[in-house]
Amino acid sequence: AVKIMPKVNLNSIAATSEAKSKDPKDTPREREQRTIREMAIMHLLRHPNICQLKEWVVHGDHYYMFLEYIEGGQLLDYIISHGKLREKLARKFARQIVSALDYCHRNSIVHRDLKIENILITNHEEIKIIDFGLSNIYSPSRLLNTFCGSLYFAAPELLQARNYTGPEVDVWSFGVVLYVLVCGRVPFDDTSLPALHQKIKSGHVEYPDHLSKGKERDMMSLL
């Protein structure tokens, strides 16, 4: 698989509307820096449940990332076609995700965009986490403050614009992923954006009747 990202054209950047973006973290230069950081971080990662960066090349006006090919597709598509997973299979997938996150965190890397769409599955039911475009190096002595990721998987501290260390936002996102695996839907949802924000901030989750008490307690400890 190949991921292609554009390089910044310094001669024309001032003339683009993007150069006048209201979000200082979403300029072409910032996006290029995220691409470079993603390549650097993925180059260091070696874990069976993380999609491996085989090689990266700079050619012309683009960066090319050559990634491990995962034949099974998105975990999201798997859930759409199969419905909510049996707890045994969900537990198998959860262990693999936790193993990959623990590996990242022990190496001072936080993903910050863990969601069901960024998890692939092989034909042998092996999980592969992808897309480290929002990842960063973290340190307990230097708090992060960038809002990252999908709203449905975002931790409350991100919505409250609070500084954070890093791993805690991945743990929250993992809790949401686990809920999706065993329930077939996201734990927080609403047609009103303010109401959705409030639900996430409150952390109140309703669990379906089919869920075992043990699994319910596991998710309650994460969300």
Which residues are known to be catalytic?
Answer: 113
Distance CA 148, CA 60 (A): 29
Q: Is 39 exposed, middle or buried (0-12, 13-18, 19+ CB in 10 A)?
A: buried
Distance CA 35, CA 31 (A): 6
Distance CA 38, CA 67 (A): 12
- Check if the beta carbon of residue 114 is closer than 8 Å to that of residue 134: no
Instruction: Answer positive or negative: Cα dihedral of 172, 97, 41, 55.
Output: negative
